[in-house]
Structure 1
Amino acid sequence: MCISHISVLLVVFSSSCLLIDGLSSDQAHIIFIVVDDLGWNDVGYHNLYIKTPTIDRLANNGVKLNNYYAANLCVPSRNMLMSGRHVHGVIMGYPRGLPLNETTIANKLKEAGYSTHLVGKWNCGFYSKEFLPHNRGFDTFFGFVDSKEDHYTHMVHDISDLRRNDLCVADKYYGNYSTIMYGNEGTTIIDNHDTNKPLFLFMSFSAVHEPLQVPSVYEKEYIPTIDDTDRRIYAGMVSCVDEAIANIIETLENKDMLKNSIIVFTSDNGGDPLYSGNNWPLRGWKASNWEGGVRALGFVYSEILPTNARGTDNNELMHITDWFPTLVDISGGNIHTEELLYGVSQWGVIRGLAKSPREDVLIALDTTRKAVSKYRTGIYGTNDFDITTLAALKMGKWKLLTGQNDGDNRWFQPPEINPPVKSIIDTDFDRKRMVRLYNLDEDPTETTDLSLEREDIVLEMLARLTRYASSTVPAQLQTVPRVDRKTMTDCLGPWIDIVELTQL
């Protein structure tokens, strides 16, 4: 018996038992696309100055996820996406990574019979060979392991960082622009794929993360409309990603796969105004827990979605960890893992058939990051939850921030607005205040703190943070042996045997 497979081009992921014209298919091809550091205001359907015709067409004919949250940095977002678990912390050349006892989405989809491929950024650990993606469920890996790369030399800190599985290939691709290179790799994988087997292709672009680099042809498109040079380059980087996605879609069409595909698109955190990303009108940016840092761009497109779901704005609450169970749901795989997932399946929500199972979203909770104890004062100073802890929680329309949120809290207008205003400052902002509460339905740009007026809501949300504190994956604190880049003459990669590390 021949089983037809459904392609899911999820700039996130795809699902198990799908209904197409009254017929069910057991599995789905899945293509997941992540754009690095893409700001809320950096796509055409939010900003008419940005040229993203393919992204706009898919979003406007799909399901836009308007109440969707990620972490405020690349590492925790990607670890959460891969594992479905609430993970926080950074790597920074330390011997850290997604713990090996955590099951990855690639593990689960491979278990369900998928061919699994990762193209582009990994950023989930590389200090030992066991942490590399082709040892964590992916059949193949073509990309880089660190947080960023030069888009032409594929180097970071003067060390090559481009590999095909274990082989360093930076020299071979020297001078190839990353977005085009990764897009070509994705189309090649699709071209060579045997459609009798389900495909999971994780497209993890290094753009639009700095450094600001793009072929001049893309920047020149913006000369008539954007005066700021860096913003023009950034916009060109976005347009190049859009073109790469267009080529992937064209390849799916040529392979007769697009009609049975789901396309999901996501950013991993907010944009960085220091490198011309923009989150207007949201407050803050990458590395902060304000909306500009954690409200992620996301949409799902597919012809197999119910007609009444297409072209809609979905405002149901969703978190980046939800893609793990959603994709396993779509694939028909076994959702069971050794550890309790934080993510929940949103496949029914995406199809417009259900309300979100979420009452809240834990955006951040890092018990290793606390303000000095003297700031534990005021009406919430004696609460069971230590309000100096860096945390953020969304509950219904309410958002609570605790601790010393040291990320930038300004509002940045895009440079293309005339006359341009670089930033708008909250003149009443007090960094010593440890509790802030916002009604995002009425105040989506977080201008008015209601923590003193709504003590009942604050206390309920602090109680939830207390419960969550015991269930998140602890931040990793291992700092030695740190990577010694001077000893890496070939390619950035593993520098210690994991057996050695356990003996330290």
Structure 2
Amino acid sequence: MGLVFCWLNFCTSLCMLYTTISIVKSQYEHRQLLRGQQAFKEVDTRWQGVAGTLSHILHKTISSGSETNKGSSDKDVSNTGPIILVPSKPHIVFIVADDLGYNDVGYHGKRMGSIADTPAIDALAYSGVRLENYYVQPRCTPTRASLLTGRYPIRLGLQVGNIDVGDSTCLPLDETTLSEKLRDLGYATHAVGKWHLGFSRPACLPTRRGFESFIGILMGHATHIDQTRANINALFTNESAEWSYSNESNHIYSSELYTQHAVNIITNHNSSQPLFLYLSHQAPHSPMEALRKYQTGYMLEHPDIWNAMAKKRISSLRRDYLGLVKSLDDSVHTVTETLKDAGIWNNTVLVFTSDNGGRGSGAGNNWPLRGRKGALFEGGIKAVGLVNSPLLPTRVVGTIQNGLMHVSDWFPTLVEGVAGGKTRDGRLPLDGMNLWPTISKGSLSPRSEILHNIKTQTPSTKERKSKRESWEYLRKDCITV
């Protein structure tokens, strides 16, 4: 019995030592992530060596002790829990909403009069960092192009409008995308949902632009019920049409379809490799097709301020739109819970953003901002945005970040700030800036102005924010018109 007791004490001491080293290593990695020091790799290798040696000693000791004391206990003590291998780089989950109004999230609506019910998005906002001086482009294609390249749309020839069916253009092939950079840094890269960056030839497709897999629609929109456009199937998997959901009996709602595939990607992901999941929803973009289960909370005649001049009763159009928003919020909840269930949430950075403002007239509430999707007024370009991550320091959790930010900033922010990579490597120059110190530490934003567009003709007085010759600027000190 004495030998057994001593052996148990020895194993307990080793376990405590191993746990202590693991905690110290985790804290050290966290600090190094925020500092962005390149020396992390060398230190990480040393810590992994120490942890690996201790793990080996502990395994050998327990194995030896088990043989020595075989039969001395009737209990079978074993570790039945999953082993989660933590990569040195954080996982990145980037969720894009389509045509989401500035006032169509609960955490904005509570002080501005909207009845949008978004508990999952609100929870992430209140426990993360809310970006309240964050701007995008006024339409779908320009915003997505700027997001994936870190460059202004004027450099890409995509600043005017959206790429439509039959257009021969696409995101320029000489551009390096965010997914390509993260893939080169060791990330598994997956795209789910709406592409809208061109599909006129194979080289334009998501799987040729840095994503290992893709399922979704390549064009701007399709029906939510069966993913068709003009009664033609619009759903693709990788580079082929996806027919699995074409029969009426197999139809699945778009938000649920994309959520299902996002869940499968997370669940089947090798946790030792960093993950980049680009989940680009079509909701709440038209057509206004909402399942009744998502409309339930809006069936009564609730007052809803979607017009700056007066209160109006909720319309059927508004109810359908809010139903689409609800399906989006349910997706955010499901994806977040799946990350936790998979054991990778604690090493994940999640971003939620809209691609532009709401359409207005019930299908999007941008109050108190003037304008709507397609316009350079605030209502078209000031977007909902937030970052949530257990890796954020407690001092910034639950805060509002008022530093100026543009959608092009996500490229260097994620590549340099989060993944620890380089963007100044001889490729085309970026317009985006690394705002990870601003988000994670509350530092001042390095950005003081945003170039939204350059037009060949002089812009109208009503449309411009400020003007310097033919340049349209949004300046940090501008007053909203």
Cα distance in 2, alignment partners of residues 363 and 305 from structure 1: 30
Cα distance in 2, alignment partners of residues 36 and 107 from structure 1: 23
Quote how far apart the aligned CAs of 1:178 are. Answer: 0.1
Quote how far apart the aligned CAs of 1:272 are. Answer: 0.3
In structure 1, the residue matched to 2:52 is none
Quote how far apart the aligned CAs of 1:337 are. Answer: 4.9
Matched AA of 2:95: I
Distance 1:186 1:370, change over 3 A: same
In structure 2, the residue matched to 1:220 is 296
Please list the CA deviations of residues 120-166 of structure 1 after superposition, one character each: whole Å capped at 9, or x if unmatched: 00111111100000011000000111111111121123322111011
1:16–1:331 CA contact under 8 A, matched in 2? no
TM-score w.r.t. length of structure 2: 0.74
SS of the residue 1:45 aligns to: helix
SS of the residue 1:308 aligns to: coil
Q: 2:435 aligns with which of 346, 362, 366?
A: 346
Q: Would you say 1:246 and 2:333 are equivalent positions? A: yes
Quote how far apart the aligned CAs of 1:257 are. Answer: 1.2
Distance 1:75 1:392, change over 3 A: same
Matched AA of 1:37: D
Stretches of structure 2 that go unaligned for 5 or more consecutive residues are 1-21, 45-86, 154-158, 304-313
Please list the CA deviations of residues 243-287 of structure 1 after superposition, one character each: whole Å capped at 9, or x if unmatched: 111111111111111122222110000000146111011000000
SS of the residue 2:383 aligns to: coil
2:95–2:278 CA contact under 8 A, matched in 1? yes
In structure 1, the residue matched to 2:33 is 17
2:226–2:245 CA contact under 8 A, matched in 1? no
Mean alpha-carbon deviation: is it higher for 92-101 or for 178-187?
Answer: 92-101
Q: Would you say 1:397 and 2:446 are equivalent positions? A: no
CA RMSD of aligned residues (A): 2.8
Distance 1:281 1:353, change over 3 A: closer
In structure 2, the residue matched to 1:455 is none
Cα distance in 2, alignment partners of residues 251 and 233 from structure 1: 27
1:115–1:139 CA contact under 8 A, matched in 2? yes
Cα distance in 2, alignment partners of residues 219 and 332 from structure 1: 43
In structure 1, the residue matched to 2:391 is 304
Cα distance in 2, alignment partners of residues 158 and 16 from structure 1: 52
In structure 2, the residue matched to 1:189 is 265
Mean alpha-carbon deviation: is it higher for 219-228 or for 346-355?
Answer: 219-228
SS of the residue 2:335 aligns to: helix
Quote how far apart the aligned CAs of 1:351 are. Answer: 1.0
Q: Would you say 1:206 and 2:282 are equivalent positions? A: yes
Q: 1:45 aligns with which of 107, 111, 120?
A: 107
Please list the CA deviations of residues 184-221 of structure 1 after superposition, one character each: whole Å capped at 9, or x if unmatched: 11011000000010100000001110000111011121
SS of the residue 1:143 aligns to: strand
| Percent identity of equivalent pairs | 38
SS of the residue 1:235 aligns to: helix
SS of the residue 1:266 aligns to: strand
Distance 1:366 1:91, change over 3 A: farther
2:96–2:281 CA contact under 8 A, matched in 1? yes
Q: Would you say 1:57 and 2:128 are equivalent positions? A: no
TM-score w.r.t. length of structure 1: 0.71
Q: 1:143 aligns with which of 216, 241, 251?
A: 216
Q: Would you say 1:334 and 2:350 are equivalent positions? A: no
Quote how far apart the aligned CAs of 1:396 are. Answer: 1.9
Q: Would you say 1:356 and 2:436 are equivalent positions? A: no
Cα distance in 2, alignment partners of residues 82 and 105 from structure 1: 5
SS of the residue 2:107 aligns to: coil
Cα distance in 1, alignment partners of residues 137 and 426 from structure 2: 22
In structure 1, the residue matched to 2:81 is none
Distance 1:173 1:33, change over 3 A: farther
More helix by share: 2
Q: Would you say 1:127 and 2:200 are equivalent positions? A: yes
Q: How many residues align?
A: 380
Matched AA of 2:372: W
More strand by share: 1
Matched AA of 1:196: S
Cα distance in 1, alignment partners of residues 196 and 98 from structure 2: 11
Distance 1:325 1:173, change over 3 A: farther
Matches within 5 A, 1:310-459: 310-329=397-416, 330-335=418-423, 336-367=425-456, 370=458, 385-386=469-470, 392-398=472-478, 439-440=479-480, 446=481
Matched AA of 2:422: N
SS of the residue 2:106 aligns to: coil
Cα distance in 1, alignment partners of residues 290 and 236 from structure 2: 22
SS of the residue 2:395 aligns to: helix
SS of the residue 1:303 aligns to: coil
Quote how far apart the aligned CAs of 1:17 are. Answer: 2.4
Q: 1:267 aligns with which of 332, 335, 354?
A: 354
